[in-house]
Structure 1
Amino acid sequence: MAPRRPDSPRRSLWQWLGSALLTVSAILGAVAIVTVAVCAVFGLRPVVVISGSMEPTLPVGSLVFYRTVPAADVVKGDIVTVPRQDGGTGLITHRVKEVTTKGDVTTLRLKGDANATPDPLPYVVSSVGSFVGVIPVAGTIALAARTPLGIAAVATYVAALVAVIVFGRRRPAARKRRQAGHLPAE
């Protein structure tokens, strides 16, 4: 590490905080942009794991990515995401235990890895979400950001970022006057 030049000004707490917040924001922004771009280019869709039926393969709070494929392409052992068949809303992500195709109709029997028995109802589908990958914990963060507390946390972060940017900048004119000896050092 190079020694600090005697004529270079010391960085204030605001500048350090601003630098850290800007760096974290840039990294998070880049990750978000890359994730959205990859999903768009490769036709991926995200879904959050909200139950432990697929643990340890897919832990609760994971963000799972899937690609829509014809149901006839599915084989036993694949992990798929399908609409619930029990009248509930939402999706189910389980492992395929049995595939039956008759003409254009494909029926799947699914089972969660952590479940003792297969799902009670068969899934009659023409297409499924075929598992592509998983990011542990990312789903928890995504869901938390949608709660009132999460929204407040994001708003606080943005406000802190704006405050650091606005109040943490040294004014070039003030710096020049300070260097000329007209203003006291901070």
Structure 2
Amino acid sequence: MARRRSEPPRRSVWKLLGSLLLTFSAVVGVIAIVAVAVCAIFGLRPVVVISGSMEPELPVGSMVFYRTVPAKDVAVGDIVTVPRSDGAAGLITHRVKQATTKDGVTTLRLKGDANATEDPLPYVVTSVGEFVGRIPLAGTIALAARTPLGIAAVATYVAALIAVIVFGRRRPQPGSRTRGRRRAVPRAAAD
């Protein structure tokens, strides 16, 4: 009597979908933890580019990272992030065109690379955010996740993840008592 070849276990659509969602979630989670750790260790802060004033160097939707340094340490040509000088809320990330320091206070003249003229008002600062790097499109994703549609998308994703975990579990067949145990395979009798 020949041995029956064991068939590979069939994976249900729920299990496959659950596996994909869990793997994706784990990868995104690890990336998020590493990003937060790197920012904390190196003192980096993220900002999102929302205008085209620094294109092509900093495209709209990029996430820019900066670290705080004394304003006296910046040089002409550096890209810096500073509070707006017109009293409005928010930050400006532009290139330094002129820097003068007097009595520990630095006055900067800034200009966006895509702008025809310098910013109209000078920036009087003691510290600035010095540009460290950028991740294209990361800012767009971060901003989208904060909108009502983005929050609904994240909630739907979490609900789908929970559904595939719950419904993807293997259910015992009625009348089956061997769940989780191996069945003995009959051996051929030796002559």
Q: CA separation in 2, counterparts of 1:13 and 1:57? A: 44
What residue in structure 1 maps to residue 78 of structure 2? 78
C-alpha displacement at 1:31, in angstroms? 0.5
How does 1:14-29 map onto structure 2 within 5 Å? 14-29=14-29
Amino acid in the other structure paired with 1:71: A
Q: CA separation in 2, counterparts of 1:158 and 1:137? A: 23
What residue in structure 1 maps to residue 144 of structure 2? 144
Percent identity, please.
78
What residue in structure 2 maps to residue 38 of structure 1? 38
Q: CA separation in 2, counterparts of 1:134 and 1:66? A: 9
Q: CA separation in 2, counterparts of 1:123 and 1:136? A: 27
C-alpha displacement at 1:28, in angstroms? 0.4
**What residue ranges of structure 1 are gaps of 5+ in the alignment?**
181-186
What residue in structure 1 maps to residue 189 of structure 2? none
How does 1:52-71 map onto structure 2 within 5 Å? 52-71=52-71
Amino acid in the other structure paired with 1:168: G
What residue in structure 2 maps to residue 168 of structure 1? 168
Q: CA separation in 2, counterparts of 1:118 and 1:6? A: 74
C-alpha displacement at 1:177, in angstroms? 4.9
C-alpha displacement at 1:7, in angstroms? 2.7
Amino acid in the other structure paired with 1:16: L
Amino acid in the other structure paired with 1:117: T
RMSD (CA atoms) = 1.7
4+ long deviations beyond 2 Å: 5-8, 173-180
What residue in structure 2 maps to residue 131 of structure 1? 131
Q: Aligned with 1:52: secondary structure?
A: coil
What residue in structure 2 maps to residue 183 of structure 1? none
Q: CA separation in 2, counterparts of 1:99 and 1:138? A: 31
Q: CA separation in 2, counterparts of 1:70 and 1:177? A: 67
Q: CA separation in 2, counterparts of 1:87 and 1:41? A: 32
Q: CA separation in 1, counterparts of 2:28 and 2:43? A: 22
**What residue ranges of structure 2 are gaps of 5+ in the alignment?**
184-191
What residue in structure 2 maps to residue 114 of structure 1? 114
Q: CA separation in 1, counterparts of 2:55 and 2:82? A: 18
Instruction: Report the TM-score when normalising by structure 2.
Output: 0.87
Deviations along 1:140-168, one digit per CA (max 9) or x if unpaired, are 00000000000000000000000011111
Q: Aligned with 2:56: secondary structure?
A: coil
Amino acid in the other structure paired with 2:8: S
What residue in structure 2 maps to residue 105 of structure 1? 105
Q: CA separation in 2, counterparts of 1:177 and 1:90? A: 61
- Report how many aligned residue pairs link the two structures: 175
What residue in structure 1 maps to residue 48 of structure 2? 48
Q: Aligned with 1:67: secondary structure?
A: strand
Instruction: Report the TM-score when normalising by structure 1.
Output: 0.90
